[in-house]
Amino acid sequence: MSSSSSQAGANAVPDTQLGLTNEEIELLRSGQQAVAAAGGGGGGGGSSSSRAASRASSQGLLVIDSSSLAALGRHFDRVMQHIQQRLEYLFAQSETVTMFVQDRAGNLIDNADAEIRRYQQIMQQIDELELDFDRIRHIRDIVRDFRRRAEELERELERSGGGGSSRRDRHGHGHGHHHSSSHRSHGHSSSGRHRT
């Protein structure tokens, strides 16, 4: 506990024990590195916690303090939002190609083969993005769960730390972070092609 690295080790779990696939582990590690490069994505204390997260990531660990997990969760929310926007664009493109392949009489146009190939490429991109979306959502949900547990532990430690003193009442609920659910509707509502 004398050094920040040993403290990070004590507050971290191996990312191979989170129930993630190899691809998801790689996404988690790259997410931690991205958050570290951005300085934690939060307030003043973000730089030291993000450096700890970066070191942990290079050692195959997930830092489980609430501030690091909050920054990581925000990162994955942004990634998912970007994927959703990209999917919506591709769905619009696929509809345009479908309409373009046939003329008003319902006949195939002269360069229909090229347009069909383009359509197939678009659908392949959609499939890959949907897979990435599902992987990142799985990672983000695990991060959220660890963050919830870390915040509960911090509140418990805060209560026990002030337990011997009558000042506990003055502590009040100052540390209570009520996170109105950052659920964005991540379902592919614009898609009729949601695969299982």
69 belongs to a structural domain: yes
The pLDDT assigned to 184 comes to 43
Cβ(35)–Cβ(56) below 8 Å = no
Per DSSP, the three-state class of 102 is strand
Domain encompassing residue 102: 4-160
What's the one-letter identity of residue 173? H
Q: Where is pLDDT greater, at 38 or 28?
A: 28
72 belongs to a structural domain: yes
Q: What is the Cα–Cα distance from 67 to 25, expressed in whole angstroms? A: 20
Q: Give mean pLDDT, residues 90-118.
A: 79
194 belongs to a structural domain: no
**pTM, 2 dp:** 0.68
Tens of pLDDT, residues 53-102:
778 788 899 988 888 899 999 999 999 999 999 999 999 999 988 887 76
Q: Give mean pLDDT, residues 20-25.
A: 94
pLDDT-derived band at 120, boundaries 50, 70, 90? very high
Q: Angle at CA 157, nearest 5°, toward 155 and 159?
A: 70
56 belongs to a structural domain: yes
178 belongs to a structural domain: no
184 belongs to a structural domain: no
Number of structural domains the chain divides into: 1
Cβ-Cβ contacts under 8 Å for 107 (sequence gap 6 or more):
none
130 belongs to a structural domain: yes
169 belongs to a structural domain: no
Mean of per-residue pLDDT scores for the chain: 77
